Structure 1
């Protein structure tokens, strides 16, 4: 499997700095495609970490791009009625000509996440199980099956659901760590694994465990935050400002459980190459800056990662 390199659209960054520039995000995606990225991604939150709606944004991006994969990193599946999400995802897949990937999460165990679920009148408990069942419901809807019968939903007439562009529908990737339960869920029912583990060794071990549990091909991906700056102290300070603004936590705390690197293009490429050597085949890169632009990675980091992926 060849190496694919994607970039996050700064949907949260524009919102939390007060710019709220949905059109600018579409232009960011267009420039990312022109710059050579293989995919563009966007996150999800209605209230906890407010940003533009991910599937609506990707529908618009599909009209301004022709090649890049369009992904969610990550869509909080249990926040929405699953049949509605099925129709929205199928619509984006049709509009894009089959370029959609749904990276999925169940929501964090934080108070602001619980408040978000409550505001949308969606159950906060059992949300991981609800996500797994929703994923199965989507697959059955996209396959044209007539009835779904699960623990949380029972639906007749499912064969009337909107079909996606591709047989079987968009690939479904599970975002999460390397706990035994997450690894088992990936192996049981998902097409890809999208963790943000801070250690390449842990990534390799998690991927090996997935391989032991299933013979199905699973796309090994990685969500990582990078800040390119030849001055390492300045890169650290930029990232620290970013994490304190985004997560209200200092860099030293966040980097203990998220994949984050700041430094020169060569240093960041070498760090990411460790994950590539560990088996990662789709890198989803977030720029750790409050004012990001694709050229921050395209000119210097992207060529180095291409070399790492071909070696």
Structure 2
């Protein structure tokens, strides 16, 4: 059972007096508290520290935590260039990189980014899957790649990742097509379904697709991305979440929780809710802390650390066999 935290790299999560250089210390503190991974997100919605730059800064400053993206949007970058960058971060971290990827969403969460990147919106999922296949080919020493969209010849030797074959690549998304693609070709699944029942049914779909593709269900790590606010009770937590959702997404918390996993309340209430996701099969939880300045983020981090032993105990009690499709 791994519990990680998303670093507050967006300026909307900083107060006027906050120094973004404190993010490296924030990551070190999370590692000392017992979190097993540090994740960063990737977006053009608001100004933020670029994802791979942040991970490169964390690599020499941390010792054992996994370093991940939640989620990287490859279409924002040239595919060969990002293969080199990811290999470099994996090398600098001693093989601790995890790359969760996504293709973006309609509306302001996706299509405008494609325009800025000079990449067509159409066939974006084929482009994403081909980009990942290209990375893996280049990490394995290939000098050419011929896909439906991406075609390269004469690629010069590239930096080799720390691990043979490169870092694991996970997929975010919970549509039927995303579940099938995850099971068929990705190393992990990182969705944020609003209800644990949705998570359970989605994981069954991923595992069924893995079996159909001749893979073992253990080949796909079951992750979960969830926004968390620990407060005195659910009511006060929702008020803080509403302020957070308005500042970061420009929407009310009621709208956010219809599309994403959002949990609030006391430590006990948050644990009870997350226990349901663990019972549904989640084994790699990435927690996004709902706070709007770095001191508050640090306070939420320390409170969230109280969840770690309890969630691990729940995973041990659940003992869901990875080979089960039920």
Aligning the two structures, in what range does the TM-score lie when normalised by the shorter sequence? over 0.9
Q: Assess if the C-alpha contact under 8 Å between 1:145 and 1:159 holds in 2.
A: no
Q: Assess if the C-alpha contact under 8 Å between 1:59 and 1:92 holds in 2.
A: yes
1:18 to partner: Cα distance: 5.5
What is the aligned partner in structure 2 of residue 209 from structure 1?
205
Q: Assess if the C-alpha contact under 8 Å between 2:24 and 2:57 holds in 1.
A: yes
Counterpart Cα distance in 1 of 2:161 and 2:18: 30
Counterpart Cα distance in 2 of 1:16 and 1:255: 22
What is the aligned partner in structure 1 of residue 67 from structure 2?
70
Q: 1:101-122: CA deviations, max 9, x gaps?
A: 0010111211363333322323
What is the aligned partner in structure 1 of residue 41 from structure 2?
43
With 260-269 and 144-153 compared, the bigger mean Cα shift is at 144-153
Counterpart Cα distance in 1 of 2:184 and 2:315: 28
What is the aligned partner in structure 1 of residue 310 from structure 2?
304
With 150-159 and 288-297 compared, the bigger mean Cα shift is at 150-159
Which consecutive residues of structure 2, in runs of 5 or more, have no partner in the other structure? 318-326
Q: Assess if the C-alpha contact under 8 Å between 2:75 and 2:117 holds in 1.
A: no
Structure 1 length-normalised TM: 0.93
What is the aligned partner in structure 2 of residue 193 from structure 1?
189
Counterpart Cα distance in 2 of 1:86 and 1:189: 17
Which consecutive residues of structure 1, in runs of 5 or more, have no partner in the other structure? none
Q: Assess if the C-alpha contact under 8 Å between 1:101 and 1:172 holds in 2.
A: yes
What is the aligned partner in structure 1 of residue 267 from structure 2?
265
What is the aligned partner in structure 2 of residue 156 from structure 1?
153
Structure 1 residue corresponding to 2:241, chosen from 239, 242, 247? 239
What is the aligned partner in structure 2 of residue 182 from structure 1?
178
With 62-71 and 117-126 compared, the bigger mean Cα shift is at 117-126
Q: Assess if the C-alpha contact under 8 Å between 2:11 and 2:46 holds in 1.
A: no
Q: 1:136-163: CA deviations, max 9, x gaps?
A: 0001111112321011221123461221
Counterpart Cα distance in 2 of 1:13 and 1:36: 26
Counterpart Cα distance in 2 of 1:158 and 1:275: 43
1:15 to partner: Cα distance: 5.9
Structure 1 residue corresponding to 2:8, chosen from 10, 21, 24? 10
Counterpart Cα distance in 2 of 1:155 and 1:174: 24
Structure 2 residue corresponding to 1:131, chosen from 117, 125, 128? 128
Q: Assess if the C-alpha contact under 8 Å between 1:13 and 1:290 holds in 2.
A: no
Counterpart Cα distance in 1 of 2:185 and 2:67: 21
Q: 1:5-25: CA deviations, max 9, x gaps?
A: 000000125566566743111
SS of alignment partner, residue 214 of structure 1: helix
Structure 1 residue corresponding to 2:258, chosen from 248, 256, 259? 256
What is the aligned partner in structure 1 of residue 289 from structure 2?
287
Q: Assess if the C-alpha contact under 8 Å between 1:141 and 1:159 holds in 2.
A: no
Counterpart Cα distance in 2 of 1:121 and 1:49: 19
1:222–1:105 distance in 2 versus 1, CA, 3 Å: same
Alignment size in residue pairs: 306
Q: Assess if the C-alpha contact under 8 Å between 1:144 and 1:159 holds in 2.
A: no
Counterpart Cα distance in 1 of 2:150 and 2:259: 34
1:100 to partner: Cα distance: 0.2
Q: Assess if the C-alpha contact under 8 Å between 2:74 and 2:128 holds in 1.
A: yes
1:303–1:14 distance in 2 versus 1, CA, 3 Å: farther
Counterpart Cα distance in 1 of 2:74 and 2:117: 13
1:87–1:20 distance in 2 versus 1, CA, 3 Å: farther
Counterpart Cα distance in 1 of 2:155 and 2:35: 36
Over aligned residue pairs, what C-alpha RMSD do you find?
1.7
